[in-house]
């Protein structure tokens, strides 16, 4: 594809993009499962979802554009996905995916750590002991149900009064089942400990990591973690929410090969998550986001620096069935443009919506939270997906 053809694919932004908040309606019945995937390190949204119609894209990013333009995967409104995001593209075509462009948290500086705290807390200023997913679980009133972090420790997003679990594959040799049986007898007089141990034994039985290599156990891929996450959500009726994360998105140099690999791994991880979910995919909402975006211009080492707005993804079978007909399969959000006068502080993609508003809408789609409940999750923010 020549650049002239490439940039002419979407000369006019489609009405479905400009509809933004009105594209999805409140579901008649809520789904049951919600998965949050945090892409740590600030993913370059402009290299994931490219605005092919914007004449200024090539002016700012000629080298990045040349590397991918022949294999771009077309979306609606003149946008296109990076060639390595084939699973996401298939979901878009089946209307179980909606990218949301030009989004950001309330944070406007460029520190990864501070931005992560704001993103996971959902509050500004951040509260590192109160995460938005924990508040959502509490506000949902789902008695006996809980959330799980696929991580070595509980991340900020799941911290709060609501109990949360963690799971991560261990590199240590597995304990003999006889030991677990003895512990069950030992804990017989403590209902809580006995129940937790029984849950652990069930999880161990359902997630067989015996075939994994030592390297995979030390640093498991998103694919193995995603599959395990999906299986646990599908098999455990008490588990209604989960969070995963993937690092490596801080591409200050050599962005082309590095993001090619990152997108390939992300795509494989999402495919594995769906495989693990099985038929539970139909009642699942997945939200994927990052702490901030990258600069529009490329730096001197073939990378991009810390920016502001990026892209997020809303996916899952419930995205297709939970709202209006063909709720998925659209690019959502308002596009601000890449002309110099349109950039934030003269260097970044300008945010046009608050990521928390879309997360609130996704939570409503998943758990049927009303406006009062959503205000306890994201105070002062109105959910966007819930608007008719």
- What is the per-residue pLDDT for 93? 95
160 phi-psi bin (left φ>0, alpha ψ -120 to 50, beta other): left
pLDDT of residue 211: 57
pLDDT under 70: residue ranges of the chain: 1-31, 170-185, 193-218, 321-327, 385-388
Q: What is the pLDDT of residue 387?
A: 36
The pLDDT assigned to 21 comes to 37
pLDDT at residue 162, as a whole number: 77
Q: What CATH number has the domain spanning 3-169+221-377?
A: 3.40.720
Nearest to 77 by CA among 96, 57, 49, 104: 49
Q: How far is 334 from 383, CA to CA, in rounded Å?
A: 16
Please give the Cα distance from 11 to 14 (Å, whole number): 9
Specify whether the CB–CB gap between 133 and 241 falls below 8 A. Answer: yes
Q: What does the buried/exposed string (b/e) look like for 90-110 if buried means 16 or more CB atoms within 10 Å of the residue's CB?
A: ebbeebbbbbbbbbbbbbeeb
346 to each of 218, 242, 253, how far by Cα in Å?
42, 37, 21
| Domain spans in the chain, listed from the N-terminal domain onward | 3-169+221-377
């Amino acid at each position: 594809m020549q650049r002239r053809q490439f940039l002419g694919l979407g000369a006019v932004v489609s009405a479905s993009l400009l509809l933004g908040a009105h594209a999805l309606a409140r579901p008649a019945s809520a789904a049951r499962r919600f998965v949050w995937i945090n892409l740590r390190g600030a993913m370059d949204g402009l290299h994931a979802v490219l605005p092919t119609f914007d004449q200024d894209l090539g002016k700012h990013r000629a080298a990045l554009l040349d590397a991918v333009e022949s294999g771009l995967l077309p979306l609606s409104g003149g946008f296109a996905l990076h060639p390595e995001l084939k699973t996401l593209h298939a979901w878009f075509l089946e209307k179980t995916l909606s990218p949301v462009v030009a989004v950001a948290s309330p944070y406007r500086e460029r520190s990864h750590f501070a931005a992560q705290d704001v993103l996971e807390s959902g509050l500004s200023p951040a509260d590192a002991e109160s995460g938005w997913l924990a508040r959502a679980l509490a506000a949902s009133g789902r008695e006996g149900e809980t959330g799980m972090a696929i991580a070595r420790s509980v991340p900020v997003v799941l911290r709060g009064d609501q109990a949360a679990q963690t799971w991560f594959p261990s590199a240590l040799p597995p304990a003999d089942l006889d030991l677990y049986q003895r512990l069950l007898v030992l804990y017989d007089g403590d209902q809580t400990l006995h129940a937790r141990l029984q849950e652990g034994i069930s999880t161990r039985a359902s997630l067989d990591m015996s075939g994994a290599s030592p390297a995979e156990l030390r640093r498991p891929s998103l694919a193995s973690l995603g599959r395990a996450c999906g299986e646990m959500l599908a098999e455990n009726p008490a588990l209604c929410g989960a969070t995963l994360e993937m690092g490596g998105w801080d591409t200050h140099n050599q962005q082309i090969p590095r993001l090619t690999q990152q997108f390939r791994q992300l795509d494989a991880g999402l495919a594995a998550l769906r495989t693990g979910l099985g038929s539970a995919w139909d009642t699942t909402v997945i939200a994927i986001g990052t702490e901030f975006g990258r600069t529009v211009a490329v730096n001197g080492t073939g990378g991009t620096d810390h920016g502001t707005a990026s892209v997020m993804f809303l996916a899952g079978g419930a995205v297709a069935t939970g709202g209006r007909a063909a709720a998925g399969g659209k690019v959502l959000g308002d596009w601000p443009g890449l002309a110099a006068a349109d950039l934030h502080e003269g260097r970044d993609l300008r945010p046009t919506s608050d990521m928390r508003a879309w997360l609130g809408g996704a939570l409503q789609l998943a758990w049927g939270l009303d406006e009062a409940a959503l205000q306890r999750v994201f105070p002062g923010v109105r959910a966007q997906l819930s608007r008719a």
